[in-house]
Chain A
Amino acid sequence: MGIMDRITERFTSKGSTKQPVTLDETTVLNALRVVQDPDLHKDIVTLGFVRNVKISAATGGLEGQHEVSLEVNLTTPACPVKEQLKTQCEEALMALPGVSSTKVTMTASTRGALPLNTGSPVAASLGQVKNIIAVASGKGGVGKSTTAVNLAWSLAKSGSKVGLLDADIYGPSIPLMTRLNAGATASGTLVEPPQVDGVKIMSVGMFGQGGKATIMRGPMAAAVIKQFLSQVAWGELDYLVIDYPPGTGDIQLTISQTAPVTGAVIVTTPQEVALIDVRKAISMFETLKVPVLGVVETMSHFICDGCDKKHFIFREGGGARVASEHGVAFLGEIPMDQGLVQASDEGKPYVTSHQKSPVASAFASVAGAVASQVSILHAENKNVLQHFSLEWVH
């Protein structure tokens, strides 16, 4: 029997609502079972999101009336349906007899992978990072770094602790795009990343021989990237966004095998040539069993000053098509905007310099979608030992 039936039954059997009704935590929790998390496909009570239920007499001394206050603890502060869930909770509570007011507080604790085994070479640097998001692309120039920066900033704006790691040894661009001028400071054997707007940033460009990276050959590049991944003191983070080198070579493999990557976001433009490379990038992560969180399409269309209409200069919907072909989520599309180029050149992440723009809200929505996919993944992988190291005892 559904909760609505139960509520109805209670009304009809007891007759008048004026009669005092026993209102306890169980009644409240049962009422909230009608509220479903659309990503996890379970109700918020089963998911264990509801906390601190308090039932008190209504202020103003209304006979038999109560105020119910509680907390809904979501899996990410970037949850795109936070407000919708809050409203549904309030409605479900108000439908209960004896409830005259509600106080629903939305909080979040970002879910993450199980702790890294202490034997792991990246335990000191990445051991307290809950989620590592690879931002990758099949080729360069598609807006991957722009997406990485704005994704990091959007997640941070929603209240998450965020780091941004520029691993593009072929063309590190994050320091310029974020106006990073502070260097890294030593912290024991590790390097402490500087912060911009509360986002911790580290770039291969700031690290050792980063500048010479373009002429570095395979094994050398792999050694540098491994060292880089194991020597930065990221501390406690909800999300670490990694700007990958473009393409699908050995270096991308090395990163994915060294860092405990939670999932990959694939960035593409809508053109067909770019999409061939996207398929390669998706296959690479599939082979590595790194979950692909989804596809982001950048420079999708442009909104002109005159008419506010979307003009699709490339073929429409390429990113969405390639996502559905591979059975992964389409995380959203970012419009073409000249302002973005300027903002990047000036070192200001667009989501803070142009908060009200369509581009900023597109990035915010992509960030919400990424956070949702990460939460779904953790719900599915509750029991997975993600990264381990076992010393054999003789």
Chain B
Amino acid sequence: MENIRVQDITQLDPKTLGILWTDGKKSALDVVMLRRKCPCAACIDEWSHEPRLKPEDVKDTVRPVKIESVGLYALTIHFNDGHRTGIYTFKYLRDLAPLASSGD
């Protein structure tokens, strides 16, 4: 995992983010799930690591406005509910959804 990075990033459909990783694997990430799994300090308790955000706090209609890289290790998502403090490391993203091989 150490050096696995993003090779390409695309919007697959209205609610799915697609990432092609440098090892050829692919992730398809549901954006509502991403909002619910936001790793920021407001959404996850820093000490207990318990989620502070309840799934019902996030509407199914939430969508990203913009997705941007952070350094060479993460990305951040500006959501249309105004939330934008989550820094999703590539490692975190790879663990969020099952990976598919390239060509699938």
- Find the A residue at minimum CB distance from B72: A289
Residues from chain B with Cβ under 8 Å of A391 in the complex: 65-66
Asked if B69 is at the interface (CB within 8 A of a chain A CB), the reply is yes
Nearest residue (CB) in A for B5 is A384
Given the interface pairs A381-B5, A393-B11, A394-B14, the reply to whether A386 lies near B69 with Cβ below 8 Å is yes
User: Which of B6, B10, B11, B71 has a CB less than 8 Å from the CB of A257?
Assistant: B71
Chain B residues near A287: list those with CB within 8 A: 73
Q: Are A386 and B11 in contact (CB under 8 A)?
A: no
Known: A381-B5, A392-B11, A393-B11. A386 touches B72 (CB 8 A): yes
Q: Contact at B70–A119, with CB atoms within 8 Å? A: no
Contacts of A384 in B (CB 8 A): 5-7, 22, 72
Q: Which residues of B contact A119 (CB under 8 A)?
A: 66, 68
What CA separation (Å) do A388 and B64 show in the bound complex?
Answer: 15
Question: Is B8 engaged at the interface, CB distance under 8 Å to the other chain?
Answer: yes
> 5 A-B contacts, Cβ less than 8 Å apart?
A289-B71, A385-B9, A388-B9, A392-B65, A393-B14
One of A290, A380, A387 near B69 (C-beta < 8 A): A387
- By a CB distance below 8 angstroms, the chain A residues around B5 are 289, 381, 384-385
Q: 5 closest Cβ contacts across the A-B interface?
A: A289-B73, A392-B64, A289-B72, A390-B67, A288-B71
Across the A-B interface, how many residue pairs have beta carbons closer than 8 Å? Answer: 68
Chain A interface residue count, CB cutoff 8 Å, equals 24
Interface residues of A (CB under 8 A from B): 119-120, 256-257, 261, 287-291, 380-381, 383-394
Are A389 and B68 also in contact (CB < 8 A) when A384-B5, A384-B6, A394-B63 are? yes
B71 cross-chain contacts in A, Cβ below 8 A: 256-257, 261, 288-290
Which B residues lie within 8 Å of A380 (CB)?
A: 3
Complex: A394 Cα to B63 Cα, angstroms: 8
B3-36 CB mask vs A (1 if < 8 Å, else 0) is 1011111110010000000100000000100000
